[in-house]
Structure 1
Amino acid sequence: MAKNLSDVTVKLNVEQPSVPVNMGNLAIFVKGESAKVETFSSYDDVISVHSDNDAINQVASGYFAQGDHGDKLFIITYDKLDSAAETFYGEGWEFATVVGADGSNPDEEIAALSNYINGKDERFAVTAYPATDTTVTKAEEIRSNLGNSRRTIVFANGDTQSQAFYGVGALIGAVANEVVGSVTWKFRKMGGVKPVGLNVTQIEKLHAANILTYVTKAGANQTSEGKTIGGEFIDALHGDDWVKASIETELQKLLSSSKKLTFDATGIAQIDAVVTNVLSQATRNGIIIENTETGMGKFTVTTASREDSATADISSRHYTGLSFSYTRAGAIHSVTVSGQINL
């Protein structure tokens, strides 16, 4: 795991029975001689440095063309992908794609990035293929090659790979930087992306492999689904990332700003309050479902007292007694209506 200068560790355990910054920023990985990271805030800045790589240009163009894009675009040059991803993990990107040095779509490197991020179980890998018969035919192969990853998004769009790369940037630029929890990734509109020319059967084959595409419904252009290749809803996982990052950030602020956070009821209550505030904000954002009876979010925060804490934890000044759980809000993606006609 990448080294982070933090005194807070948040572990999310997801049970499925039935604002920090940078939650919408994109990183482009590209093969090179030595590892480095570059940060850009506009498309013109990207072109001034990387005009020779069409894939980078297309992803950047799509990203910055959207009105709500993140404030940064990272271009990470790698010799070994896993090593570079680990080295630059702390730069502040939430989404990452990979392109070939020659502007191609490198399947092996995409799989490597997908595996790396899936192993972290946070953030997202994203890639795209043109919305053609070939992509439809190999849809299940694509999913298999990416290990059915719960953290990888595949977007079929455009007639060519160059257009598909534009779509990658456009998708992240249009949706990822919205208030996390306030939007689903289905039904989203983006600038510069044309609806695909596939028929319903072909689109259903893409959906069966959890590949989303771009269609027209009721006269409006929109994304056709909002799932990762592993079948998870993107907004749900993005919400989990927001909760984790927010708690880490706010608890670190508490530790850093306190003259002394005492290992007693007072200090523990302050930790409890920070986590409760984050989960309350997550409820307002739409990440956590609201209890209609109480008007509060469906979450719980539990703390252990000093007396119930291990002696070793007290002596090492390491508090491990807080835990929390919450119920995701979810979203409605389809509707069935029953009607009756009286004669």
Structure 2
Amino acid sequence: MAKDVNVIIRIETPTPRLGFGKPLILGSASTAKPYKTYLELAAVKADYGETTEEYKAAAAIWAQGDYAPAEIAIARQKTGTEPETVSDVMERLLKEDWYFLITTTTAQADVDEFAAAIEADNSREYFTRSSTLADVALLLAKNYSRTTVFYHIDISNYPEAALVGRVGSAPVGSVTWKFKYLQGIAPLDITDTELREIHAAGAITYVTKAGRNQTSEGKTLSGEWIDVIHSKDYIRFNIEYAIQNLFADTDKVSFTDTGIAQLESVTRTILQQGFLQGMVAADAAGLPLYGTTFKGREEVDPVDRSKREYNGGTFWFELAGAIHQTTISGVIRK
């Protein structure tokens, strides 16, 4: 789909209208099924049946109760004779409204292809599961920043779908993916050394800490935080969407300082929303840490003005992040 607005964000270390909390469950069978949205598990049962992998994944999502998304989507990839390739199925599904991909397949070759497709698209995230750390390590070598692998000895009940159901539909930027309780998932009884091995392989898992069951980390395969990728996509897409609407709703956005100010105002509105949702940090005075710089008309190359292309806008923001570990020192006075 052609776009008139393109926002690029680089993460610095110190398109349909996306539902940013909407999961897509992708199954596979001899007959393909188109993308369809579901609002309740009973409707999934009518189309797929309780014994299907699609139903099990949907059940894991909606088992998270009040945290679960209001709607999910399900589709099927054709296998067998004249199968639908990953490229084919992703081409049709990337036109639809979803953000988190969950596949019923855990075959190494399939997972690698889906991870590569999500990485290339650069607008969604992929959550998969594995009971074999060696397979996770093969994915780790690809350094995918948009794929999260949930390691567990029992992957039949879709722990990664439970995680998406628990966290994915919260306001973007308001939560971390670590420390989360997952309904229906049993914690692993493992040592600290075993947990470090899981993390070193690039996966996250489910453990008990201080008597409470919780996710062990909140990272993608590359080591980037899941909420950072989610926030980046949210800011980029919403600026693109808002400015595209400005173009459509305004008789003319003039190539003047006034018109340029309209572009900047829309951009700052989205950044302020990011601040209110908790993804943008605040300074010591409580003021949001973001900024914009938009060149005035006279600063823009006349060639760009003649082509009606404005490329002089930039923005920045500091991520609020989250505290995942702490060391607190104390003194006993006598």
TM-score by length of 1: 0.87
Measure, in 1, the Cα distance between the counterparts of 2:230 and 2:127.
13
* Residue matched to 2:150: 155
Measure, in 1, the Cα distance between the counterparts of 2:33 and 2:85.
8
* Residue matched to 1:56: 54
How far did 1:21 drift?
A: 5.5
- For residues 142 and 14 of structure 1, do their structure 2 counterparts lie closer, same or farther at Cα, with a shift above 3 Å needed? closer
TM-score by length of 2: 0.90
* Residue matched to 2:162: 170
* Residue matched to 2:80: none
**Residues 157-179 of structure 1, C-alpha deviation per residue, up to 9 Å, x if partnerless?**
3x43312x2x1221101101101
How far did 1:69 drift?
A: 2.2
The CA RMSD measured in Å over matched residues stands at 2.1
* Residue matched to 2:269: 277
Q: Establish whether residue 29 from structure 1 lines up as the match of residue 26 from structure 2.
A: yes
* Residue matched to 1:202: 194
Q: Which one of the candidate residues 179, 185, 204 is aligned to 2:171?
A: 179
| Runs of 5+ unmatched residues, structure 1 | none
Measure, in 2, the Cα distance between the counterparts of 1:53 and 1:306.
62
Q: Equivalences for 1:110-259 in 2 at 5 Å?
A: 110-130=111-131, 135-136=132-133, 139-144=136-141, 147-157=142-152, 159-163=153-157, 165=158, 167-259=159-251
Q: Establish whether residue 302 from structure 1 lines up as the match of residue 289 from structure 2.
A: no
SS across alignment from 2:172: coil
SS across alignment from 1:230: coil
CA contact (8 A) 2:26 2:74 kept: yes
Letter in 2 for 1:88: L
Measure, in 2, the Cα distance between the counterparts of 1:83 and 1:308.
45
- For residues 186 and 303 of structure 1, do their structure 2 counterparts lie closer, same or farther at Cα, with a shift above 3 Å needed? same
| Runs of 5+ unmatched residues, structure 2 | 78-83
How far did 1:137 drift?
A: 5.8
Letter in 1 for 2:144: S
Greater shift in the superposed pair: 178-187 or 112-121 = 112-121
Q: Establish whether residue 81 from structure 1 lines up as the match of residue 86 from structure 2.
A: yes
CA contact (8 A) 1:99 1:106 kept: no
SS across alignment from 2:297: coil
CA contact (8 A) 2:162 2:182 kept: yes
Q: Establish whether residue 318 from structure 1 lines up as the match of residue 309 from structure 2.
A: yes
How far did 1:199 drift?
A: 2.5
SS across alignment from 1:91: coil
